[in-house]
């Protein structure tokens, strides 16, 4: 492991939200220093040795940041390309640029997934009313129109119940390139969180089953209620993506369970909300696994030793903390200020049984 960063080396993290915060804690546990780059004040600042508050178009700040670290990783995928170019001229970025370029754009992502033999919802590109009408003809309705870039937690999306909704849906895209996705008849959504080391080794956490509320992840339950064959399909899908992208780090893959098998909903080139259960279900959680990978360390033991229900605390859910603190669940709060509707304030892991 000649590429293995030594304790005392520094990992740069782009983004200082709760994912960056939990990555910083995992890095500290391995004796690694952390430098967070984040435009706003944000939760990760409290758990990192060093923070740069600067904009992603501040070249001087980016350069100083990149020069101060041994490797750069990130907690979100929508990082401006120019910033990445500048950083990469100075130090390695893991996971690499191909993973970012693929996942930053829904159209590129779906095309990539199909190209490596994986199934997605039917989709078609949309830039104007003509291409939208063509897309509706190809994938049918109901369907969902999504901006190609920058969407998350249900933002940048419009549903089309029938072709009559086309004009309104297109208007809500504000001129941004979009993709029309056909609806999938699925019985469940599961996630698989996979990791690939710098040596090409792959380790996947057990798939979890997701339930959303108002477009935001509400709970992830492990084990997912799927049989062994779907379970191994999920692992094989994650492994195929990880290898095809020559990936280093943790990757989240959302999958639809359908009568015809698993369909990839989307991928995230980072630790993922649906992997938070690993903090109380595995010796090495997704955050440490990601830090191990990007630091060039061998992957750790991510085998699941408990059944867990992860539940997000969104907005005023955080007011339940006093009651939750008494209830025997594991609490993970992000130290954010006032609760706002839709704001992820923390999560709990409820261990429902042990193995």
Q: Which two tokens stand for residue 327?
A: 């209830």
Instruction: With CA atoms as reference, report the closest residue to 144 among 282, 155, 41.
Output: 155
If binding is defined by CB under 8 A, does position 249 make contact with a second copy? no
Residues 72-91 touching a second copy, rule: CB under 8 A, are none
We find the least distance from the C-beta atom of residue 336 to a second copy, in angstroms, to be 8
Q: Which of 55, 301, 340, 342 binds a second copy (CB under 8 A)?
A: 301
Closest to a second copy by CB, 151 vs 335, is 335
Q: Interacting stretch for a second copy, rule CB under 8 A, among 158-166, 187-195, 253-261, 277-285? A: 277-285
Residue 94 is a binding residue for a second copy (CB under 8 A): no
In the bound state with a second copy, the residue whose beta carbon lies nearer, of 21 and 270, is: 21
> Quick one: 89 exposed, middle or buried, by C-beta within 10 A (0-12, 13-18, 19+)?
exposed
What lies within 8 Å, CB to CB, of 115 at 6+ separation is none
11 lies in the site for a second copy, by CB under 8 A: no
| Torsion over CA: 126, 132, 138, 141 (sign) | positive
Between CA 114 and CA 124 the distance in angstroms is: 13
Count CA atoms within 13 Å of residue 112 on its CB side. 22
Residue whose token pair is 């190609």: 148
Strand 50-52 to strand 33-37: parallel, antiparallel, or no bridges (unpaired)?
parallel
Residue 40 lies near a second copy (rule: CB under 8 A): no
List binding-site positions: 106, 146, 151-157, 181-184, 189, 212, 265-266
Give the residue numbers of the binding site for ATP.
106, 146, 151-157, 181-184, 189, 212, 265-266
Nearest to 273 by CA among 222, 234, 328, 216: 216
Q: How many residues bind a second copy (CB under 8 A)?
A: 48
Instruction: Write out the residues near a second copy by the rule CB under 8 A.
Output: 1, 4, 7-8, 21, 24-25, 28-34, 45-49, 280, 283-284, 292, 297-298, 300-301, 305-306, 318, 321-322, 325-326, 328, 330-337, 345-346, 351, 354-355
């Amino acid at each position: 492991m000649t590429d293995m960063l030594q304790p005392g080396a520094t990992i740069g993290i782009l983004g200082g939200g709760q994912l960056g915060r939990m990555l910083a804690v995992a890095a500290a546990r391995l004796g690694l220093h952390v430098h967070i780059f984040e435009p706003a004040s944000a939760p990760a600042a409290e758990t990192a040795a060093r923070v740069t508050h600067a904009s992603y178009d501040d070249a001087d700040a980016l350069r100083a940041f990149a020069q101060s670290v041994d490797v750069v990783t990130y907690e979100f995928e929508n990082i401006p390309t120019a910033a990445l170019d500048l950083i990469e001229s100075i130090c390695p970025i893991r996971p690499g640029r191909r993973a970012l370029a693929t996942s930053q754009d829904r159209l590129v992502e779906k095309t990539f997934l199909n190209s490596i033999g994986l199934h997605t919802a039917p989709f078609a590109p949309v830039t104007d009313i003509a291409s939208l009408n063509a897309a509706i003809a190809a994938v049918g309705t109901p369907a969902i129109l999504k901006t190609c870039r920058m969407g998350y937690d249900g933002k940048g999306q419009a549903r089309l119940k029938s072709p009559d909704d086309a004009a309104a849906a297109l208007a809500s895209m504000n001129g941004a390139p979009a993709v029309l996705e056909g609806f999938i008849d699925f019985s469940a959504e599961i996630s698989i969180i996979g990791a690939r080391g710098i040596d090409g080794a792959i380790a996947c956490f057990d798939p979890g089953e997701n339930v959303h509320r108002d477009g935001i992840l509400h709970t992830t339950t492990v084990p997912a209620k799927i049989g062994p064959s779907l379970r191994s399909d999920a692992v094989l899908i994650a492994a195929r993506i990880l290898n095809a992208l020559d990936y280093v780090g943790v990757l989240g893959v959302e999958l639809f369970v359908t009568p015809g098998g698993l369909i990839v909903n989307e991928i995230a080139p980072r630790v993922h909300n649906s992997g938070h259960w690993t903090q109380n279900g595995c010796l090495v959680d997704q955050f440490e696994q990601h830090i191990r990978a990007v630091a060039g360390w061998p992957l750790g033991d991510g085998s699941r030793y408990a059944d867990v229900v992860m539940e997000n605390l969104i907005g005023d859910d955080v007011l339940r903390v006093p009651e939750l603190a008494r209830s025997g669940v594991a609490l993970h709060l992000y130290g954010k200020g006032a609760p706002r509707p839709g704001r992820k304030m923390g999560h709990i892991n409820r261990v429902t049984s042990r193995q």
